[in-house]
Amino acid sequence: MYKSAIAIVFVFFIILVSSLIFPLNNIILFAEGQQQQKSSIPGSSKNVTELIKSNGKNSSITLENKTVNYFENTNGYLVYPISTTTSSSIKSNFSANNNNTLPAVVMIHEWWGLNDNIKNMAETLAKEGYVVLAVDLYNGKVANTAESSQNLVSKVRENPSESIKNLQHAVRYLASLENVDSSKIASLGWCFGGGQSLQLALNSEPESPLAATIIYYGNLVSNQESISKIKWPVLGIFGDQDQSISVQSVKQFEDALNKNGITNEIYIYKGVGHAFANPSGDNYAPQETQDAWQKTVSFLNKYLK
């Protein structure tokens, strides 16, 4: 009994000391990192394989892909369909615009960085009839351990204005392309990228508004005044067992959207945790992942086509 009491006091002492030494952001980052480390492996392409199985109709679409410079010395991965004869969805995209342009998406990576998995996801979405720019918020670095990922995320969060500028330029770059409808640009991100997708929405330039925002279990904001800056539909994908993005915070976010009259679709999947849409780890939930992806594509089709 006495030893148990000492152990409890010791644990509380460690927590107190940690809170004094490390900033709150780092504590939150640590919680996210523990789940990410368990639930995702950098560079995996399994997610694409699983999603292609459920959507074989787009497997033969021809894509153009290339590395492009879109912000200062930062390069991103640009991909778009160039075959309009094999997909009725892409044909309808082009036929809806007199100038043969397509809707576009700024895709934002997880805390691993712009790795092969994100590039493969960009290609998967491009086959749905979108021009996709997968951005890089790590200046060309890609993490392969939880520790290196945490360091890279910390640097971004220590200088948020730089990542916002990066994302704003990504929107500008897409809007400048001849094959993009500049009035139909959305953002999509997972985990760290989900939070950045929301930050882009909150800091979008008046001359370059978004058409939609998609957040997969990213850090949220529930301040009603801040949320009022969003003037377009929002899709949120979450799990009720997520230890870093609580159900309560999701409900507060949804409430702020509703109070501002912002069109939104918020889904909280039961029994799944953080990064459940990444099949590389323990938290992967295949049925929920496929359902969430179908909801994502349907949402984009609804508001961008």
Domains along the sequence of the chain with CATH:
24-304 (3.40.50.1820)
For the cut 80, the answer to whether the pLDDT of residue 43 exceeds it is no
Q: Is residue 279 very low, low, confident or very high in pLDDT (cuts 50, 70, 90)?
A: confident
Q: Are strands 102-108 and 180-190 parallel, antiparallel or unpaired?
A: parallel
- The whole-number pLDDT of residue 89 equals 55
- The rounded distance, in Å, linking the Cα atoms of 34 and 111 is 12
- The whole-number pLDDT of residue 76 equals 98
Q: What value does the mean pLDDT take over residues 276-301? A: 92
Q: What value does the mean pLDDT take over residues 201-208? A: 96
Q: Tokens in use for 284?
A: 């992967």
Q: Report the sign of the C-alpha dihedral through residues 262, 265, 268, 272, in that order.
A: negative
Lowest average pLDDT, out of 92-106, 170-184, 191-205, goes to: 92-106
Q: Report the sign of the C-alpha dihedral through residues 264, 268, 273, 278, in that order.
A: negative
For the cut 90, the answer to whether the pLDDT of residue 8 exceeds it is no
- The whole-number pLDDT of residue 39 equals 46
Judged by DSSP in three states, 244 sits in coil
Residue whose token pair is 């998609």 = 214
Residue whose token pair is 């160039």 = 82
DSSP 171-184: HHHHHHSTTEEEEE
For the cut 90, the answer to whether the pLDDT of residue 46 exceeds it is no
Q: What value does the mean pLDDT take over residues 96-116? A: 88
Judged by DSSP in three states, 1 sits in coil
Buried b (16+ CB within 10 A) or exposed e, 181-209: bbebbbbbbbbbbbbbbbbbbeebeeebe
- Predicted structure pTM score: 0.85
* Closest to 93 (Cα-Cα) out of 69, 124, 59, 127: 127
pLDDT tens, position by position, 209-256: 999 999 999 999 999 999 999 999 999 999 999 999 999 999 999 999
* Closest to 303 (Cα-Cα) out of 121, 159, 130, 171: 130
Q: Rounded to 5 degrees, what angle do the CA atoms 276, 280, 282 make?
A: 60
For the cut 60, the answer to whether the pLDDT of residue 260 exceeds it is yes
Lowest average pLDDT, out of 50-59, 63-72, 152-161, goes to: 50-59
Q: Is residue 53 very low, low, confident or very high in pLDDT (cuts 50, 70, 90)?
A: low
From residue 284, how far is each of 10, 118, 189, 217 by CA, in Å? 35, 16, 17, 13
Which parts of 183-232 fold into alpha helices (H)? 192-202, 224-227
pLDDT mean across residues, the chain: 85
Q: What value does the mean pLDDT take over residues 288-299? A: 97
